Amino acid sequence: MQNYFLVLSYNGTHFNGWQAQGKASLRTVQEVLENTVNSLNIFCSPVKITASGRTDAGVHALNQVCSFAAQTTVPPEKLADCFNAKLPPDVRVQKSGLAPENFDACRSAKQKTYVYSLYVSERENPLKEEYCVKILAAPDLDAMRSAAEILTGEHDFKAFCASNSSAKTTVRTIYSIKILQEPTFTGEEMRVYVTGNGFLYNMVRTLVGTLLDVGFHKKSLQDVEYALTSGDRSSVGKTMPAKGLCLYSVEYKN
């Protein structure tokens, strides 16, 4: 058996997230990928694919990293085209190759960056709606950046995590939160890039909801500090829609 890695992009719109649910009615990236790969008859035994982490229903990925153990005569770097030939158009392998023996896309991950996309408009823009969330007014970016500074670092993010999370600890480290205004040909978009060593269920979407509350002066910086110290779920902003979220990159040691 050899160990392989994949870098995947997917449009999450028509996926019920990453993780296989074992229900035919719930189309997931993992199931589509494993079923496709195993239908190719290039592996000696069925392949099971591990991702850097689950993405929720509707969340996109630009560079999701996966690993799997398998035996095949197909050259490692050719697996990408081999898989792509059979994959549906909303998921694509950007790169494939051999991974070190002990590489596990989930356990070996050192940090991840998610990006959340927003645009200010009175009315929806059909060219943005698939990956970008409309807000009605421009938030106070300085206030948002001050709140982002408070959230950066090692904290107990219990308040920012869905109540049904099964995580053993709710302590995580956020290395950076960057809030940028980026011009695009369909009009300006606001991007929130969050880099951390790991994220709880719904954490990035709740962080962005909280930052927006600060940006619209519905919450103060003290409220953000209170959310971190109290762990009080009712003190944070709303969980923003999945479609605005995209797994941007996963970093590994070396």
CB-CB neighbours of 2 under 10 Å: 12
Whichever of 66 and 228 has its CB closer to its own copies, that residue is: 66
Site for its own copies in 87-106 (CB under 8 A): 89-94
Q: Considering only residues 185, 222, 253, 254, which one is a binding residue for its own copies as defined by CB under 8 A?
A: 185
Give the interface segment with its own copies, choosing from 82-90, 139-147, 171-179, 208-216 (CB under 8 A): 82-90
Site for its own copies (CB under 8 A): which residue of 1, 124, 176, 232? 124
Q: Closest CB to its own copies among 93 and 144?
A: 93
Binder to its own copies among 20, 65, 80, 203 (CB under 8 A)? 80
Residue list 164-183, contact with its own copies (CB under 8 A): 182-183
Q: Which stretch binds its own copies (CB under 8 A): 158-166, 171-179, 184-192, 197-205?
A: 184-192
Q: CA–CA distance from 114 to each of 40, 151, 174, 182, 231 (Å)? A: 32, 15, 11, 16, 22
Q: Residue 26 class from Cβ within 10 Å (0-12 exposed, 13-18 middle, 19+ buried)? A: middle
Toward its own copies, which CB reaches closer, 191 or 233?
Answer: 191
Residue with tokens 């929130």: 192
Q: How far is the CB of 176 from its own copies (least distance, A)?
A: 15
In 39-178, alpha helices (H) = 79-84, 141-151
| Strand pairing class (153-156; 133-135) | unpaired
Exactly one of 2, 45, 186, 230 binds its own copies (CB under 8 A); that residue is 186
Residue 236 CB partners (closer than 8 Å, separation 6+): 159, 160, 206, 209, 210, 227
Is position 126 an interface residue for its own copies (rule: CB under 8 A)? yes
232 is catalytic: no
Rounded distance, CA 111 to CA 184, Å?
A: 28
Ramachandran angles phi, psi of 186, nearest 5°: -95, 10
Which of 70, 82, 144, 246 forms a contact with its own copies (CB under 8 A)? Answer: 246
Please report whether residue 129 would count as binding its own copies according to CB under 8 A.
yes
Identify the burial level of 200 via C-beta atoms within 10 angstroms of its C-beta, where 0-12 means exposed, 13-18 middle and 19 or more buried.
Answer: buried
Judged by CB under 8 A, the stretch of 67-75, 78-86, 143-151, 196-204 that binds its own copies is 78-86
Question: How far separated are the first and last CA of the chain, in Å rounded?
Answer: 23
**Cα–Cα dist 134/240, whole Å:** 11
Binding region for its own copies (CB under 8 A)? 9-11, 60, 62, 80-81, 84, 89-94, 115, 117, 123-127, 129-131, 182-187, 191, 246, 248
